[in-house]
């Protein structure tokens, strides 16, 4: 076993690898960029080396600096994590040339599987079933269009060197192909430095099922069963589970043997994932096709660890140090069911736009870390840390394990309810809604689950105004009580020698203005009325402070509520869900001007890729105006109303800050 390794990655990935290494008595070296100088992964490793600027191309993609850091610190091996350089054959070869062990497959295997087109040809020779498509080297645009027409729409354009949903577009009709190809190639060249694409038939009602494989230097291979990763948005995974619901022992064996055949075909060593697209036929049967092989450990590997009881990072370290696989195929067993939820800084209601900001509140459920248990969290951040625009938007991975899928689902919902994040938008409540859908609960899975269930997934409030207002009022009263002094005139409890006292509260909730009246009744009891007229909800307000939040009774409801104040906004978390309610201070906002119209601003820091219009152009509401790149993804800026473009304020390639005005639009007056 190695005595010291360098981890060529960041965030939760580096923390995950470091935890296993340190459990095995292996010293760890972290590398970090300017943006990550105070990051968690730097703190948890034994040593840390600065390698450059905040952008990945200035630090985490500079493999010569990483190798120099490994040699300077006496590391014997480099673990690439997943992402960045983990599937870079040149880096793997450079490690070997420098006398360092690359904890991953040989460069030849990365090369063979790294380009989707070539890997498809290899798999065809190995007898692994393939989806109909075009995997050739000729990238002539007319040829690609003709091949798409031949295959038949819908088709999927995929970056040949891609992964993680980047450089991928589904095309429904021939006239949309050229624009989708341009976007695909731009994203591919920015993410992978290679704009070659392949084209495949877009399988209807597909499931995404992948097989975890492992090989050692002695020629032994096993598969550690499957993971279902069908629940996706923008071709990126949202929820993953193991084993795959509805999988028969016969099909599991067929897919496992096909995955091992794929690994053998390239003399694979270490952890790898063979991804299959699974066609669900009308008669209930399933057929599978090879999609790609990821020559690294996957983000979703914890669900495999949960059902097998194995530490896959430990397996990686042992195999890389020359040891045989810890177990043979007949020694591996599936125990229970596991589900992983990817918690990301993003706004699902705004097309999953990535978010940046600080984790002002970062509360997690009671859990174990990197060990088998009912609830586990893998995270590379701490409360107070910032989510920057330089890297991907993942905050943490929440993994639950149960004896059955139903038990795992219940634990997932409870754990997500206990996840309290304030300071930036996240997908936590969206994940709860996805897990509660009839489709997911009944394992009616395919990659279109989110679009199919969109009516119950987006723009939903699980906590209504009455409960949100009651929680906000209770929190206000608790803050006032805490600030009271011994002077009786400092009391804020509504005490009067005669009569009753009533206070008015005003809120913004769900884009609407709302009022509430709190009455201090004789004897010290409280009565709250939320809303006006027939729509008002009223009743006694009873609450008490607990370690986990507020115990709240109002309008026939009894619940727990944790309330975090950020300025005027109260973030309310309950077992039902979470919401935000804004307390309005009328004096503080007196005289504020209405928002200026006709401005189009950057929703987050990033780079201007292109403009689809020029000064003087007339545009209609919803028309694409510009494309920005941020957090490794492209985002289209559309016209909010009909109008005329007055001026473009930036040029393609310019870096812009959040809120920067990209162009001026003169909005047409309504007739």
Burial 275-306 (b: 16+ CB within 10 A, else e): bbbbbbeeeeebebbbbbbbbbbbbbbbbbbb
Q: Is it the case that residue 442 has pLDDT exceeding 60?
A: yes
Lowest mean pLDDT among 118-127, 239-248, 301-310: 118-127
Q: How confident is the model at residue 613 (pLDDT cuts 50, 70, 90)?
A: very high
Instruction: Average the pLDDT over 231-239 and give the result.
Output: 91
**Which residues are catalytic, by number?**
296
> Residue 325 pLDDT more than 50?
yes
Most confident of 414-423, 522-531, 594-603: 414-423
| Tens digit of each residue's pLDDT (9 = 90 or more) over 351-372 | 999 999 999 999 999 876 555 5
Q: Does residue 343 have a pLDDT over 80?
A: yes
**pLDDT in the model for residue 489:** 45
Contact, 300 vs 275, CB < 8 A?
no
Q: Which structure tokens are listed for 16?
A: 């995950």
The C-alpha atoms of residue 183 and residue 180 are separated, in whole angstroms, by 5
Output the 3-class SS for 506-558.
EEEECCEEEEEEEEECCCCCEEEEECCHHHCEEEEEEEEEECCEEEEEECCEE
Residue pair 602/584 in contact by the 8 Å Cβ criterion = no
Average pLDDT for 267-293 = 91
Burial of 532 (0-12, 13-18, 19+ CB in 10 A): exposed
**β-bridge partners, 508:** 513, 582
Average pLDDT over residues 22-40: 97
Question: Within 10 Å of residue 467's Cβ, how many Cβ atoms?
Answer: 24
pLDDT at 108 over 60: yes
Just give the CATH number of 132-201.
3.30.1490.20
Alpha-carbon distance of 208 to 131, in angstroms, equals: 13
Which of 451, 120, 171 minimizes the C-alpha distance to 276?
120
8 Å CB contact between 571 and 580? yes
Q: For residue range 469-499, list pLDDT tens digits in order.
A: 999 999 999 988 887 654 444 455 555 555 5
**How many CB atoms are closer than 10 A to CB 220?**
14
Q: How confident is the model at residue 640 (pLDDT cuts 50, 70, 90)?
A: confident
Say how far apart CA 507 and CA 517 lie, in whole Å. 11
* 4-103 and 599-667: identical CATH topology: no
pLDDT over 70 at 204, yes or no: yes
pLDDT the model gives residue 165: 75
CATH fold for the domain made of 206-457: D-amino Acid Aminotransferase; Chain A, domain 1 (3.30.470)
Spatial distance between the Cα atoms of 622 and 632, rounded to a whole number of angstroms: 24
What DSSP state is assigned to residue 36? Answer: T
| Contact by Cβ (8 Å): 334, 305 | no
Q: Mean pLDDT for the chain?
A: 90
Residue-level pLDDT at 631:
61
Query: What's the length of the chain?
Result: 671
What is the CATH number assigned to the segment(s) 599-667?
A: 2.40.50.100
What CATH number matches the domain at 465-583, 3.30.200, 2.20.70, 3.30.700, 3.40.50?
3.30.700
Using CA atoms, how far residue 618 sits from 540, 649, 666, in Å, is: 57, 17, 9
Considering the domain 4-103, what is its CATH architecture? 3-Layer(aba) Sandwich (3.40)
Listed by start position, the domains of the chain span 4-103, 132-201, 206-457, 465-583, 599-667
pLDDT band at residue 18 under the 50/70/90 scheme: very high
The model carries a pTM of 0.81
């Amino acid at each position: 076993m190695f005595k010291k390794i360098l981890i060529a990655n960041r965030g939760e990935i580096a923390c995950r690898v470091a935890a296993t290494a340190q459990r095995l008595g292996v010293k760890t070296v972290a590398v970090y960029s300017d943006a990550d100088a105070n990051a968690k992964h730097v703190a948890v490793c034994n040593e840390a080396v600065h390698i450059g600027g905040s952008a990945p191309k200035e630090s985490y993609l500079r493999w010569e600096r990483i190798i120099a850091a490994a040699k300077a610190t006496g590391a014997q091996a480099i673990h690439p994590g997943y992402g960045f350089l983990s599937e870079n054959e040149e880096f793997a070869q450079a490690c070997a040339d420098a006398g360092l062990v690359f904890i991953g497959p040989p460069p030849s295997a990365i090369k063979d599987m790294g380009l989707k087109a070539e890997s498809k040809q290899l798999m065809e020779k190995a007898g692994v079933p393939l989806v109909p498509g075009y995997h050739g080297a000729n990238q002539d645009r007319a040829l690609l269009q003709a091949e798409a027409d031949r295959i038949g729409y819908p088709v999927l354009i995929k970056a040949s060197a891609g992964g993680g949903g980047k450089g991928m577009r589904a095309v429904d009709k021939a006239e949309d192909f050229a624009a989708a190809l341009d976007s695909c190639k731009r994203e591919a060249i920015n993410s992978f430095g290679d704009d070659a694409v392949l084209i495949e038939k877009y399988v209807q009602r597909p499931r995404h099922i992948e097989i975890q494989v492992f090989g050692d230097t002695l020629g032994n291979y096993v598969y550690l069963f499957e993971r279902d990763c069908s629940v996706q948005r923008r071709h990126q995974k949202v929820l993953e589970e193991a084993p795959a619901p509805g999988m028969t022992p016969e099909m599991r064996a067929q897919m496992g043997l096909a995955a091992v055949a794929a690994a053998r075909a390239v003399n694979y060593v270490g952890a790898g994932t063979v991804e299959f697209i699974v066609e669900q036929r009308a008669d209930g049967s399933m057929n599978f096709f090879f999609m790609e092989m990821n020559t690294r450990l996957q983000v979703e590997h914890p669900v495999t660890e949960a059902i097998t009881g194995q530490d896959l990072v430990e397996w990686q370290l042992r195999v890389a140090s020359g040891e045989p696989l810890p177990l043979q195929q007949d020694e591996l067993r599936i125990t229970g069911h596991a589900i992983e939820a990817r918690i990301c800084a993003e706004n699902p209601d705004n097309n999953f736009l990535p978010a940046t900001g600080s984790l002002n509140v970062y509360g997690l459920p009671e859990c174990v870390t990197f060990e088998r248990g009912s609830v586990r969290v893998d995270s590379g951040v701490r409360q107070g840390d910032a989510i920057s625009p330089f890297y991907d938007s993942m905050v943490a991975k929440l993994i639950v394990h149960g004896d059955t899928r139903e038990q795992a689902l219940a634990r997932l919902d409870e754990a997500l309810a206990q996840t309290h994040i304030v300071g930036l938008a996240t997908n936590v409540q969206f994940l709860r809604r996805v897990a509660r859908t009839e489709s997911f609960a009944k394992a009616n899975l395919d990659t279109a689950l989110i679009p199919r269930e969109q009516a119950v997934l987006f723009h939903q409030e699980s906590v209504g105004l009455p409960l949100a207002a009651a929680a906000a009022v209770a929190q206000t009263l608790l803050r006032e009580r805490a600030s009271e002094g011994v002077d009786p005139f400092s009391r804020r409890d509504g005490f009067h020698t005669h009569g009753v006292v009533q206070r008015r509260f005003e809120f913004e909730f769900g884009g609407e203005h709302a009022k509430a009246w709190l009455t201090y009744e004789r004897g010290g009891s409280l009565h709250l009325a939320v809303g006006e007229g027939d729509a008002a909800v009223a009743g006694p307000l009873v609450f008490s402070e607990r370690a986990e939040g507020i115990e709240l009774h109002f309008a026939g409801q009894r619940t727990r509520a944790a309330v975090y104040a950020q300025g005027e906004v109260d973030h309310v978390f309950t077992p039902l869900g979470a919401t935000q309610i804004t307390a309005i201070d009328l004096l503080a906002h007196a005289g504020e001007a209405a928002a200026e119209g006709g401005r189009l601003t950057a929703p987050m820091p990033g780079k201007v890729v292109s403009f689809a219009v020029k000064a003087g152009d007339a545009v209609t509401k919803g028309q694409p105006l510009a494309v920005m790149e941020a957090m490794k993804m492209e985002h289209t800026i559309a016209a909010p109303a009909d109008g005329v473009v007055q001026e473009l304020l930036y040029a393609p390639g310019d870096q812009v800050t959040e809120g920067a005005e990209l162009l001026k639009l003169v909005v047409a007056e309504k007739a």
